[in-house]
Amino acid sequence: MFGLLQKSRSLYRLSAPVVHRSQWLSSSAANDVSAKFARAQEELKKLKSEPSNDVKLRLYGLFKQSTSGECKTSKPSAIKFVEAAKWQAWSQLGSMSSADAMAQYAETVHLLLKEAGVDSASGGSAATDADASAADNDILVENRSGVCVITLNRPKKYNAITDAITLIAK
């Protein structure tokens, strides 16, 4: 009987590291996806122009699915069309896992950066000097007799005032 107990202990000891290793691999993969997801959130800020509303809604749905899980909230009123669109983007993902949502979010951001010509690895831009100088001409600042005049020429941004403009004016 003592020999049987020893044998079962050795089997137990052999099986424990195998389980531990598989848990480590799965948690390592989850950490990798989480790291890519966090990196994608930061890299999304590098876009020079905003993506389309469809892409924004897709990213919103994937973000909510990643952070909150399956949509269990009730559908907002049709009068609240922004909230209803966000709810639809989130709820259509159904029971997608958080890890899958994180991976799709990171892939979508990667494709957006690639289309925009932004290098996600170095944080630089693949834009030419002509593109960079055109971007500098979007906001013109001049001093006319002690009065700061800011001219906006950004039709794609609907000449919206941003934090950068408020810093220029100070």
Is the same domain home to 143 and 75?
no
User: What's the pLDDT score for residue 149?
Assistant: 82
Is the same domain home to 15 and 26?
yes
Is the same domain home to 33 and 73?
yes
Is the same domain home to 73 and 133?
no
Is the same domain home to 38 and 89?
yes
Nearest CA to 50 out of 160, 168, 128 is that of 160
User: What's the pLDDT score for residue 169?
Assistant: 57
User: What's the pLDDT score for residue 109?
Assistant: 93
Is the same domain home to 35 and 55?
yes
Range 139-167 burial, b when 16+ CB lie within 10 A, else e: beeeeeeeeeeeeeeeeeeeeeeeeeeee
Owning domain of residue 166: 128-170
C-alpha of 25 from chain center: 24
User: What's the pLDDT score for residue 131?
Assistant: 43
Walk along the chain (170 residues) and give the pLDDT tens digit of each residue.
444 444 444 444 333 334 433 343 455 666 788 999 999 999 988 888 888 899 999 999 999 999 999 999 999 998 999 999 999 999 999 999 999 999 999 999 999 998 888 766 544 444 444 444 445 567 777 888 888 887 777 776 666 666 666 666 55
- Which amino acid, one-letter code, is at 58? R
User: What's the pLDDT score for residue 74?
Assistant: 94
User: What's the pLDDT score for residue 166?
Assistant: 64
User: What's the pLDDT score for residue 137?
Assistant: 66
